[in-house]
Amino acid sequence: MKHHQRRLFHVSEEPGISAFVPRSPARADMNSEIGLVWALCERTLPNYLTPRDCPRVTYHARAETREEDIAAYMPKGYRHVVIIETGWLKRLEETTLYVYEFEPGGFYLQDEAAGYYVSESTQAPIKITVVSDLKAELARRNTALQTRDSLWGISEEIKKTSFYWSICRMGNAKGA
C-alpha cells in the first residue's frame, strides 16, 4: 500500500507571497506571544475555496458520521459541502485564489476537525497554484457548492450533526 504524504496549504487572494512569516494569533484561546504560520490539510482545503470574506457553512463526512446525517444533508455522491449566501455567488465566480503549498515537515497539528496545522518558523511555499474557476475546483474536489439566502438556520443545524464542520466569516452574513 502506498503511503500518502500529508499536503499542507494556505489560500489567499494575494499573488506572489514568497515567505509566510509567523504572526501572533488573534484567537483568545491561543498564546499571543508565539507567532504562527497557519496551513490546512487537503481534506479541509475546499472550505477555503471561496473569497476570503465570504460567509460560509462547510461540512464533510468522517468515519464517525451517522448515516442519517448523510441522508439529510449530503447530496448523493458527495462527501463535502460548501454553502454560501446567494448574494456572494457572483463574487465567488469572479475571484481568483492562490493556493500555496508547503513542505509539511515544519508544521504540527493544531486542530484535527478544522485540519489546521501551524509552524513557528517562516515558511516558503514549494508550489503555487492559481485557481481562477472556484466552482470547477470545488467540483473537482468532490465538493457540492450550494447557495442559500440566509446561512443562519443551516449553521445552527449543522452544529448538531456528526459531520466535521466549519462556519466562517458569519460577521459578514446577512442578518449578522
**What are the phi and psi torsion angles at 170 (to 5°)?**
-65, -15
Q: DSSP character for 54? A: -
The structure's pTM equals 0.92
Give the per-residue pLDDT at 3: 44
Rounded CA separation 34/168 (Å)? 23
pLDDT in tens, 82-103: 999 999 999 999 999 999 999 9
Rounded CA separation 47/57 (Å)? 8
Give the per-residue pLDDT at 27: 81
Cell 443562519 -> residue: 152
Query: What grid cell was written down for 59?
Result: 461540512
Rounded CA separation 74/77 (Å)? 8
